[in-house]
Amino acid sequence: MSRHLWISARILALLVAVYAVRSVSPVHAVARPIVAVSSGTINRNERSEASQEYPNEARAIPVEQYASPVEMLMSPNGARLYVLCQESGEIQVLDAFSGRVLKRIGVGRVPRGFTLSPNADKLYVASSWDDHVAVIDTQRLQVIATWKVGAEPTSIAVDHSGTQLFVANRISNDVAVLNAKTGSEQRRLEAGRGASYLTMATDGSRLLVTHVYPNLGEYRTVPESEITVIDPHNAHVVERMPLHSIAGAFHVALSNDGHLGVVAHLHPKNLVPLAHVEHGWIFGDSITVFGTDIGKGIHGSVEVPLDELDRYFSYPFGVAIAPDKRHIYVTNAGADVVTVVDVSKLLAYIHAHPGGFAQNLGASAHYVTARIAVGANPRGVLLSRDGRHLYVANRLDDTVSVVNTSTERVEKTFPLDGPKTISALRKGERIFYSARYSFQGQIACTNCHIDSTFDGLTWDLEPDGFGIGIVDNRMLEDIRNTAPYKWNGSNPNIPTECGIRTEKYFWRSQNYNDRQLADLTLYIRSIPARPNRWRLPHGQMTSAQERGRALFVRSKDNFGNPIAEKNRCVYCHSGPMGTNQTSFDVGTGKRTDLSGVFDTPQLTNIALTAPYLHDGSARSLEEIWTLYNPADRHGRTNDLTKDQLNDLIEYLKTR
């Protein structure tokens, strides 16, 4: 089913990646990238990019569809390994011993999480772009049902009785409780922002939820995330365990006895001016351990750094605790390694340092016992029941590494079905997710653009001075036609944004070469917008959205006075992307800004990307106008009634 479309480099600037959506069927029928050639006009910026990206015209780029494994499960008898493949939208069923692919089952677009029923007769798969759960009969290895759930289902868990499913919805920030027999939704439980990963305690007494985005907080304050603890029996949230200073929490694991918990996460330093990279200046890569083994009760938690003084282990993602609780295994997705933590040494170090040691880069020497090199962008991990083997899903290698936990070496590598050639796009994606280009491997593009999106944080970049030019991190979805880039609009194209500027002020180390920059640019330009959950089918709108659209384009205010053309929403936020690609001063500048003139941001999936404005000072769309538009310079809005403002916002959410 793989397609190879070879396209001349001279027209690559015209490429538009779109996703052809196919209906779910049991046989590998999923989202599939198609490359189409646009006949539209090339604007100046595109011409500029094209010339920079491909100086040699003879280059051809293969467009492939890769498996991109992210999660794994094993059948109870240990014979089958189920591998969740995010890009190909399928489950590949492997012989767990030989690695042979037995079956490929299409499940929907961008699946991110799955779980087995208690008796293992069903596999439930959350397809994040289709907002559904696919139910697979594990005997027939066929999809037997699809159930609609909330917005962007990302992880799924089942209770011990097999009667209730819990689905973490990343966009709606909640956990849906479904009837496991019928798929009917029984309840929604409010989680934190970006609810993404679920882990059920072995005894079924607790369900833990982690979040890829921090909860919305006050302007320029320390990011806070949480582990939402759910009582599965009563389907109630029973606790919100704070993760102080954490933004970007991924997998969470519990020991079999439930006394030790571990969550992998990022510790950003977004409030400190980014003067340099060394000494963990931009990100810390860490885990938080909690539970009664820590000695402080369930409420106690300790952040544990995984980095070293001169080497960083970027993007801790997957985590597993050995059955005998002797070791914790963490995938470092940006560093292509698995970190092994000795639990007894860790606990001893924790007890010897009751004041904490989250910022001590010399701490990991006392409890990290191995760094095991695996494939590219390792994500989910799975321990065999006896704990002797650790399976690692290498997302950007399309392989599964099998690690012998005694020797701490990769014993086997299972290749998954899919293309064997590596396209330029894929190379660009690997660059995006690899920390190897930054100084000492501390950060990758994805550190701030989680899963190629955003991080919900504001940053203090160095070039314009300390404490000056605070910027909100903008989303990368569908940005190819939104040049210029950067809030001050100073970068005319993506190669400028990601090339020398990134090398100097982010990586602080030798960048990728020109060809790699071209690959990266190709990838970034190909990042699609995820489905907009506020749009109705066939372009229909709710009445509120219709009213909001009328306000968006209106030329007279509520008092019948004409609104100057340049003060209408639609003037700056024009065109399909919601930007006229021009900078304006709309009165949002602060004393920390060198200039009040900012690039008009695109409106793509604007509902998701709080906080807002160039510096992230508006925590909601509403605050843009209720707090930061006193003189109507950011559009004429002060005449609007509350209901009208709500309508305008309802419309904006559809963009």
Partner 1 sequence: MKTLKRLLEPRFLTGILCAPVVLLSGLAAQNTQTSHAPQAAVPTNPLHPLTVIVSAAPTVLYPPEAGTNAHSKAAIIAPEKNMADRLYPDGVHLLLLQAGKATPLVPEFVASADANVSFDGKSILFAGKKTSADRWQIWELEIAEHKLRKVIGGTTNYFHPLYLPGRRLVYSRQTSHGFELEAALYDGTDRLALSHLGSQGTPVDVVAEDVLEDGRILFQTGFPMGVSGGSTIRPELYLVYSDGSGVESYRCDHAATQKLGGRWGGRQWSQGSFAGDVLFTHGRTLGRFSSPFASEVSMAAPAAEYAGLTETPSGDAIVSARHTARDRFSLMLLRPGTRIWKSFYAQPGMNLVEPVVVSSRVIPRRHPTALHPWTTANLMALDVRISRDGNLTTLPSKVQVEALGASGQAIVLGTAPVAEDGSYFVTVPGDKPIRFALLNAQGRIMRAQRGWFWARAGEQRICVGCHSGPEQAPENHLPGILLKTTVPVNLSGEAEGQK
Contact residues: partner 1, CB under 8 A: 220-223, 245, 267-273, 275-276, 278-281, 284, 305, 307-311, 359-362, 364-365, 368, 439-440, 462-463, 465-468, 500, 503-505, 507-511, 592
The distance of closest approach from Cβ of residue 361 to partner 1 in the complex, given in angstroms and rounded to an integer, is 5
In angstroms, give the least distance from the CB of 389 to partner 1. Answer: 25
CB hemisphere CA count around 446 (13 angstroms):
27
Residue (233 or 269) nearer to partner 1, CB: 269
Smallest separation (angstroms) from partner 1 to the CB of 317: 20
* Nearest distance from C-beta of residue 223 to partner 1, angstroms: 7
CB of 359 to partner 1, least distance (A): 4
What string of DSSP letters covers 185-238?
A: EEEEEE--TTEEEEEE-TTSS-EEEEESSPBP-STT---EEEEEEEETTTTEEE
Closest distance between partner 1 and the C-beta of residue 51, in Å?
23
Q: Of the two residues 508 and 547, which places its CB atom closer to partner 1 in the complex?
A: 508
Contact at 8 Å (CB) between 264 and 314? no
**Minimum distance, C-beta of residue 580 to partner 1, in the bound complex (Å):** 31
Least Å distance between CB 468 and partner 1? 5
Q: Tokens 């989250």 identify what position?
A: 358
Q: What are phi and psi of 537, to 5 degrees?
A: -60, 155
| Pick 154 or 511: Cβ nearer partner 1 | 511
In the complex with partner 1, which residue's Cβ is closer, 194 or 499? 499
Output the CA–CA distances (angstroms, integers) from residue 479 to 496, 601, 621, in the order listed.
14, 10, 20
Please, what is the angle between helix 642-652 and helix 543-553, to 10°?
90
Nearer to partner 1, 71 or 455 (CB): 455
What is the DSSP code string of 478-525?
T-TT--SBSTT--B-SHHHHHTHHHIIIII-S----HHHHHHHHHHHH
The smaller minimum CB distance to partner 1, of residues 367 and 433, is found at: 367
d(CA 313, CA 479): 29
- Residue 543 makes CB contacts below 8 A (sequence gap 6+) with none
Query: Cis (ω within 30 of 0) for the bond into 537?
Result: no
Q: Are strands 101-106 and 90-95 parallel, antiparallel or unpaired?
A: antiparallel
For 114-131, letters b (16+ CB in 10 Å) and e give: bbbebeeebbbbbbbbbb
CA atoms of 600 and 485, how far apart (whole Å): 10
Name which of 223 and 418 has its Cβ closer to partner 1: 223
Kindly state the smallest distance separating residue 309's Cβ from partner 1, in Å: 6
The span from the CA of 262 to the CA of 443, in Å, is 22
Q: Is the Cβ of residue 246 or residue 400 nearer to partner 1 in the bound state?
A: 246
Minimal distance in Å, beta carbon 615 to partner 1?
13
In terms of CB distance, is 193 or 480 closer to partner 1? 193
The CB-of-504 to partner 1 minimum distance in angstroms stands at 4
Distance CA 430, CA 336 (A): 11
Q: In terms of Cα–Cα distance, which of 322, 253, 308, 261 is closest to 289?
A: 261
Spatial separation of the C-alpha atoms in residues 229 and 83, rounded to whole Å: 27
| Pick 62 or 223: Cβ nearer partner 1 | 223
Of 138 and 270, the one with the shorter C-beta distance to partner 1 is: 270
Nearest residue (CB) to partner 1, 74 versus 247:
247
Residue 488 in tokens: 């001050």
Integer Cα distance of 520 and 472 in angstroms:
22
Measure Cα distances from 603 to 44, 362, 613 in Å: 21, 44, 12
Name residues whose C-beta falls within 8 Å of residue 276's C-beta, 6 or more positions apart in sequence.
439, 462, 508
What gap in Å lies between CA 570 and CA 635, rounded to an integer? Answer: 9
Toward partner 1, which CB reaches closer, 267 or 525? 267
For partner 1, the closer CB: 292 or 359: 359
Instruction: Report in angstroms how near the CB of residue 244 gets to partner 1 at its nearest.
Output: 10
Residue 327 half-sphere exposure toward CB, CA atoms < 13 A: 19
**Taking the C-alpha atoms of 347, 353, 358 and 361 in order, what is their torsion angle to the nearest 10 degrees?**
-90
Contacts of 297 (CB under 8 A, 6+ apart): none
Minimum distance from residue 97 beta carbon to partner 1 (Å): 31
- Closer by beta carbon to partner 1, 26 or else 284: 284
CB atoms within 10 A of CB 593: 19
Q: At what angle do helices 424-433 and 514-526 cross, to 10 degrees?
A: 90
For residues 283 and 446, give the distance between their C-alpha atoms in angstroms, rounded to a whole number.
12
- Minimal distance in Å, beta carbon 452 to partner 1? 24
Question: Closer CB to partner 1, residue 308 or residue 557?
Answer: 308
Least gap, CB of 216 to partner 1 (angstroms): 17
Least distance from C-beta 98 to partner 1, angstroms? Answer: 31
Task: Give me the least distance between CB of 61 and partner 1, in Å please.
Answer: 28
Closest CB to partner 1 among 141 and 222?
A: 222
Quick check: 288 and 266 in contact, CB under 8 A? no
